[in-house]
Amino acid sequence: MSSTEVMSRLSRLFQKVFEDGSLIVNEATTARDVENWDSLNHLELILSVEEEFGIKFSLGELQDMKNVGMLAQSIESKLTG
């Protein structure tokens, strides 16, 4: 799966989880940039990503993620690894 496709699917997931069809995310996006990115939406987002891509993150991997770009990279490496 290409990086573009990962980001595109991620964007759709963000729109669904945050209930905002106009939400656009990029690699630099962080929790501070998205309204309502609270603990429960964060949980929902990660679980949705895991389901969407058929992967599972370790707790350590999740703690290291600082922005959407790192999330996308982690997804790609799991899909290719």
Partner 1 sequence: MRIRQFIKDFMQRPGPVYARGGGLVASEKLQQEYQRIRQHLLQHSSDGIVALCLEKDYRYLLCLLACMEIGLTYIPLRKEWPASRVEQIRHLSGFTMLLTDEMIESILAGQLELVSGEGFAIAPEKPLYIMFTSGTTGEPKGAVIERRSYENFLDWLAEYFPGITAEDRVLNSTDYTFDVSLVDIGLLLVKRPHFFLSDFRDDFFRLLGELDAYRISVIATVPNNFSMMLSDRLAGRANLSPLRHVLIAGSRFPFSLYKAFRKHLPQAHVYNCYGPTEATIYCIAKALSMDETADLVGQNVSIGTSIRGCDVLLLDQELRPVAPNQEGEIYIGGVQLMRSYLNNASETERSLCVIRDRRYYRSGDLAFRDDKGELYVIGRADDTIKISGQRVNLSDVEAYAQRFDYINGAAIVAIPHEHKEYLMHLFVVLNRAREPYEILADLKGVLLKHQLPHKIKVLDNFPLNNSGKICKKTLMAAYCPVD
Closer Cβ to partner 1, 5 or 60, answer by number: 60
Is residue 34 within 8 A of residue 17, CB to CB? The reply is no
Q: Round to whole Å and give the CA distance between 34 and 3.
A: 22
Closer Cβ to partner 1, 1 or 62, answer by number: 62
Query: How many residues make contact with partner 1 (CB under 8 A)?
Result: 13
The answer to the question of residue 63 lying near partner 1 (CB under 8 A) is yes
Distances (CA, A) of 2 to 38, 69, 74, 76: 29, 14, 13, 8
Chosen residue from 1, 28, 47, 79 binding partner 1 by CB under 8 A: 47
Chain residues binding partner 1 by CB under 8 A are 35-36, 38-40, 42-43, 46-47, 59-60, 62-63
